[in-house]
A and B are shown apart, each in its own frame.
Chain A
């Protein structure tokens, strides 16, 4: 029964994630923690496995299409994201569950704002943010931050990386999404190492969640062009806001 519940939650997380333009982890981790009742560290580890599966599937499709993934830039940026992921995956072991829950709630609020803004008006690429050196420093720092978030919370980090690639480096939005997907899998692998070493990864929960998220993300990607996303995005943003409140309430309650 739990298997079915986790797989259904994974499908929902993947579908919602694909329609909102974020990874499945931002929905899957709160689902595992708040609905299934798994400790936040194990939920984050399962979220990383989902991120890995979705990233491999999506990046594979983008690589086959050709011209969308900027491989050379991605590899240079990925060093910082992977280092951040490794650090985050280890550092989360030093933090108590309630602290991670509150951090996740803050990230969910950021994701809500990000989704609301993207629903109201599509962003225009701008590569005029400061000088080239400043842009590079900002990009590297934010990629490291995205990796740390990925390792700490079990999310892909796309909510940070996509805006950086699009707004700071000036990549077209589709190319930024493809490149971010390519990077996410490589960030998730070192991030998982910390979870595996502590024994936080429960394979029997991660497998159905990853399969569900993979299926949901594939369906969501096919549905996306046919659905009017702005209204849906606002609805999902409200759902994430509710998850953020519940996560914060739970974290503060068990402080």
Chain B
């Protein structure tokens, strides 16, 4: 029997594969085009390079958020605490970047 957690895991699995592929390919494509164009100022392409990597980094965080929501719905408080703690660590990391 396929439970709702299994369905969520499958959906998030697809999301993770898609996120990593799109993120990496977007960045790589922009880097290759920039290399072909040579010297010059191409802000949109430079943005795409960063955006691809950002998308890659955001993929596991989105997955974590989805598992946190599911853990709250299922009242698995130990998992909720762990996921919230993880968000706290990620928040500290973001603080390090922005600060």
B57 touches A52 (CB 8 A): yes
Please tell me if A168 contacts chain B, counting CB pairs below 8 Å.
no
Closest to A62 in B: B13
Bound together, the chains give a CA A208 to CA B33 distance in angstroms of 12
Selected from A78, A186, A204, A214, the residue in CB contact (under 8 A) with B24 is A214
In the bound complex, residues from chain B placing their C-beta under 8 Å from that of A164 are none
B28 touches A60 (CB 8 A): no
Count residues of chain B with CB under 8 A from any CB of chain A. 50
Are A64 and B10 CB-contacts (below 8 A) given A59-B16, A207-B24? yes
A193 touches B28 (CB 8 A): no
Nearest CB of chain B from residue A252's CB, rounded to whole Å: 31
In the bound complex, residues from chain B placing their C-beta under 8 Å from that of A89 are 93
A90 touches B53 (CB 8 A): no
Please tell me if A174 contacts chain B, counting CB pairs below 8 Å.
no
B27 touches A193 (CB 8 A): no
B21 touches A57 (CB 8 A): yes
A75 touches B10 (CB 8 A): no
Nearest CB of chain A from residue B16's CB, rounded to whole Å: 3
The A interface, classified by DSSP as helix, strand, loop or mixed, is helix
A56 touches B86 (CB 8 A): no
A203 touches B53 (CB 8 A): yes
Please tell me if A83 contacts chain B, counting CB pairs below 8 Å.
yes
A86 touches B53 (CB 8 A): no
Bound together, the chains give a CA A76 to CA B52 distance in angstroms of 29
In the bound complex, residues from chain B placing their C-beta under 8 Å from that of A3 are 31-32, 35
The B interface, classified by DSSP as helix, strand, loop or mixed, is helix
Are A82 and B90 CB-contacts (below 8 A) given A72-B79, A203-B49, A204-B49? yes
A53 touches B15 (CB 8 A): no
Nearest CB of chain B from residue A12's CB, rounded to whole Å: 17
Count residues of chain A with CB under 8 A from any CB of chain B. 44
In the bound complex, residues from chain A placing their C-beta under 8 Å from that of B60 are 52, 55-56, 59, 185-186, 189
Nearest CB of chain A from residue B89's CB, rounded to whole Å: 4
Selected from A72, A75, A203, the residue in CB contact (under 8 A) with B50 is A203
Residue in B13, B15, B24, B35 with the greatest tally of chain A CB atoms within 10 Å:
B24
Bound together, the chains give a CA A62 to CA B9 distance in angstroms of 9
Please tell me if A245 contacts chain B, counting CB pairs below 8 Å.
no
Bound together, the chains give a CA A194 to CA B17 distance in angstroms of 26
Closest to A7 in B: B28
A49 touches B82 (CB 8 A): no
Contact with A along B62-99 (1 / 0, CB 8 A): 00100100010000101100110110011011101101
Are A71 and B53 CB-contacts (below 8 A) given A79-B86, A207-B31? no
Taking A72-B76, A186-B86, A207-B30 as known contacts, 4 extra A-B pairs with beta carbons closer than 8 A to each other, sorted by chain A number, are: A3-B35, A60-B14, A79-B89, A189-B61
Query: Can you spell out 8 A-B residue pairs with CB atoms less than 8 angstroms apart?
Result: A64-B9, A66-B9, A72-B76, A86-B96, A193-B94, A207-B52, A207-B53, A210-B24
B interface residues, Cβ below 8 angstroms from A: 6, 9-10, 12-21, 23-25, 27-28, 30-32, 34-35, 49-50, 52-53, 56-57, 59-61, 64, 67, 71, 76, 78-79, 82-83, 85-86, 89-90, 92-94, 96-97, 99
